[in-house]
Structure 1
Amino acid sequence: MSFHDFVAGGEARERFVTALGRALEQLGFVFVRDHGIDEALLARAYALAERLFALPEALKRRYETPQDGRQRGYTSFGVEHAKDRSVADLKELWHVGRLLPVDHPRTQSGAIPRNRYVEELPGFSETAQALFDAMDRFAMGLLEAIEIHLGRPTGFFEDLTRDGNSVLRIIHYPPLPDDVPEGAVRAAEHEDINLLTILPASTEPGLQLMTRDGEWLEVVPPPGAMVCDTGDMMQLLTDGRLPATTHRVVNPSLDTQRSRYSMPLFCHPHPDAVLRPAREQGAIPEVTAGSFLMERLRAIGLA
């Protein structure tokens, strides 16, 4: 589907909203083209990501922040694992988030961690921030369409995500080592934590989603399209109307041992946003975005 239809308004917008809502309800994944994100910016970000992960391991680890759940900066190879699994995924990460003023209350409190600037790689941090901003704008447009589909008040998602903890995750899946642990894969089956994920085409194949019938499908977006899917926070917020879809990144065959790079944007609410109000006189407690995120970061080994 084309995002131009949503921007055009009228019947084209209505068709887009209906198609997007149905796809997310039935499959959880959708391809959207004409998103307005500069292909040259994406190419530059991928080229700089390759140089970033080629830096010495000791240098990269200087930018690792386990104290805040590794929400920004570097995450070493073999740290993250899928929820309810003990075998680590075969990847290393770099996180870039929303740039708030240093005197912003959420910056001051640490609720929104500050980004880590890579002095050893000029241009990387600026490019990553520009890509975050572009993908974040597109995500907000899709959330507006989802808002209409759900019948939520105008501005519902804008209020929910204002000064929120969205993050661009830059991922490097290296060629498989000779001693791959039994059962280890590039990314074991999981659901995303957040509201909405926006994913440009990765540099190598491997992404698969699980259908509602339990079958694995290859995710192969058309050229120039973004892959969009809903996560656990959206499932919780909508009482399961927009469910999170299980997906994974499988290992390459032995004759295609190349690095794989991927750059999903995870759209998050602000930390105080209520995803589920307390129910039954407190028998079911309130869930906020901040508490939910930290619980999941602990479950996947980042915190």
Structure 2
Amino acid sequence: MEIPTVSINSIGLASDRPEHEDFLDIGNKLDKAFSEYGFVYLTDHGIDQQIVQDMFEASKSFFTLSANQKLTCSRHPITTQGYVRPGQEMLDNLKEGGEKPAFHEIRESFDVVSLEPSARFPDDLVPEMRSAFVALGERLLSLSFRILEALALGLGLNPKFFVDCHQLMIQKANSSKLRSLYYPAILDLIMKGVVRCGEHSDYGTITFLFQDDLGGLEIKGPDGSWIQAPPNQGSILVNAGDLLEIFTNGKFPATRHRVVIPEEEIRRRQPRQSFVYFIHPDDSTLVKPILDEEPKLEKYQGINALQHLVNQFSATYR
């Protein structure tokens, strides 16, 4: 199994005015990729690689500060914006089948739900971090609307179906999130069961992921085996989340994935970074199957978008 790659040059940010036919063509390609794999690499998306690199460099400057410095910008319990320390979020708590969770998940993050001037950023510690988030975040927001339109057309829906229920992304009343992730270098022997990021599916509609060149991401195949999702320079790895699975009545699976620790010792002595954009519907959206088929499982009957996220957070955050 190999994750497919789709060029979106015709609807990427470098395309000033994409045509209906362009969106439909990309939508059909995304439909095939998500139906079979739940994941796809997008190329020719129009986001300059230097903007991505600036994001990684600014984030690294923050994550290499002392623990006490980082904690001054801890994730706010209400806004959910800010620093998430190692061990605060345990995704393996959500393992299917009652499996025992991993012993520990070695990662930390900085979460952003708002780019407003008043939003929490470590301006006194790493002033360039705000501008890096804003530059990349604004472009991802624009690109996400184009992908949502293509997805709707690929499913035979009104082209604005998904766009209309994602209007408030990176604003109030929407739970979309930009997340910079940092996996510290591992210098000691690793206990059995330790992973960088535990097995999970994403909670929202779709997720955009940028990886550095170290790798470690794996996705779960239909037969239960783990398949590597290696870095692909200049691409965005996109996957379907729980709510898109519900919207599509299971046609687009929210494929489970994890980040493992590479076996090669030289890689264990380097930090790993990634940047994620979790795309969610507006909080008030009732997410329910939109295709004609009868619901396959009770979980596809429908759920409020915000309530689904609250349910997941209650299981993962300490």
Q: Which TM-score band applies after superposition, normalised by the shorter structure? A: 0.7 to 0.9
Alignment of 1:47-62 (within 5 A): 47-62=57-72
Conserved? CA contact 1:132–1:167, under 8 Å: no
Larger mean CA deviation between 42-51 and 180-189 belongs to 180-189
Conserved? CA contact 1:189–1:248, under 8 Å: yes
Aligned to 2:130: 125
Aligned to 2:310: 294
Q: Say yes or no: does 1:194 pair with 2:200.
A: no
What is the aligned counterpart of 1:269 among 244, 260, 281? 281
Give the secondary-structure state (helix, strand or coil) at the position aligned to 1:140: helix
**Separation in 2, partners of 1:219, 1:179:** 25
Aligned-pair CA distance for 1:249 = 0.7
**Separation in 1, partners of 2:80, 2:189:** 29
Conserved? CA contact 1:31–1:221, under 8 Å: no
**Separation in 2, partners of 1:221, 1:141:** 23
Aligned-pair CA distance for 1:97 = 2.0
Residues 189/157 of structure 1: CA separation in 2 closer, same or farther (3 Å cut): same
Residues 52/18 of structure 1: CA separation in 2 closer, same or farther (3 Å cut): same
- Note the aligned Cα RMSD (angstroms): 2.4
Residues 109-133 of structure 1: CA distance to partner in whole angstroms, max 9, x if unpaired? xxxxx44343211111121122111
Which segments of 5 or more consecutive residues in structure 1 lack a partner in the other structure?
103-113, 278-282
**Separation in 2, partners of 1:153, 1:100:** 31
Conserved? CA contact 2:150–2:159, under 8 Å: no
Larger mean CA deviation between 180-189 and 142-151 belongs to 180-189
Q: Say yes or no: does 1:96 pair with 2:112.
A: yes
Conserved? CA contact 1:74–1:95, under 8 Å: yes
**Separation in 2, partners of 1:95, 1:145:** 27
Give the secondary-structure state (helix, strand or coil) at the position aligned to 2:214: coil
Aligned-pair CA distance for 1:170 = 0.4
What is the aligned counterpart of 1:205 among 215, 237, 242? 215
Aligned length: 286
Conserved? CA contact 2:197–2:260, under 8 Å: yes
Conserved? CA contact 2:27–2:152, under 8 Å: no
Aligned to 2:294: none
Conserved? CA contact 2:208–2:238, under 8 Å: yes
Aligned to 2:227: 217
TM-score with structure 2 length normalisation?
A: 0.82
Residues 220/252 of structure 1: CA separation in 2 closer, same or farther (3 Å cut): closer
Aligned-pair CA distance for 1:202 = 2.3
Aligned to 1:138: 143
Aligned to 1:3: 8
Alignment of 1:1-303 (within 5 A): 1-6=6-11, 8-9=18-19, 13-65=23-75, 67-68=77-78, 71-82=80-91, 83-84=94-95, 85=101, 87-99=103-115, 114-163=119-168, 164-178=174-188, 180-253=190-263, 254-256=265-267, 257-276=269-288, 287-301=303-317
Aligned to 2:3: none
**Separation in 1, partners of 2:186, 2:237:** 25
- Aligned residue type for 1:152: L
**Separation in 1, partners of 2:251, 2:160:** 20
TM-score with structure 1 length normalisation?
A: 0.86
Residues 23-59 of structure 1: CA distance to partner in whole angstroms, max 9, x if unpaired? 0011001011111111111111111111110111112
**Separation in 2, partners of 1:244, 1:261:** 23
**Separation in 2, partners of 1:58, 1:180:** 25
Larger mean CA deviation between 240-249 and 70-79 belongs to 70-79
Aligned-pair CA distance for 1:211 = 1.5
Which segments of 5 or more consecutive residues in structure 2 lack a partner in the other structure?
1-5, 96-100, 169-173, 290-297
Larger mean CA deviation between 201-210 and 82-91 belongs to 82-91
- Aligned residue type for 1:137: S
Conserved? CA contact 2:215–2:231, under 8 Å: no
- Aligned residue type for 1:130: A
